[in-house]
Amino acid sequence: MKIHLTSVFVDDQEKALRFYTETLGFVKKHEVPLGEYRWLTVVSPENPEGPELLLEPDAHPAVGPYRSALVEDGIPVAQFAVADVHAEFRRLTGLGVRFTQEPMEAGPVTVAVLDDTCGNLIQIATVPA
């Protein structure tokens, strides 16, 4: 068994696509019209056949309270691996990304938390090999 697809709820699919591709560096994999919304996924350019991230519309009524509670408590909805959190923090800050937690050591892991501009907190992490 392996992870094939996971999702983040976004308040605007087009804005999310721009942020996740142009800012974070993911690549669009699928875009299928589904009425008012789209089946819209991105993947890592380092692993285009790997797990997909679905940029899912936040239209369901349970999403708002769930997401608000996570953001209020500073809890990231997802974690992405990066080679160097400090370098990625500098790159993304230079692009105007807002971080809610600057890089910090958590045992052997270095983490930081950013605002994805679409209603979510995302953690980036460097885990030693």
pTM here?
0.94
Whether pLDDT at 48 is above 80 = yes
Q: pLDDT band for position 126 (50/70/90)? A: very high
**Cα-Cα-Cα-Cα dihedral sign, residues 5, 10, 47, 91:** negative
Q: pLDDT band for position 121 (50/70/90)? A: very high
- What domains appear along the chain, each with residue ranges and CATH number? 5-126 (3.10.180.10)
- Kindly calculate the radius of gyration of the chain based on its CA atoms and give it in whole angstroms: 15
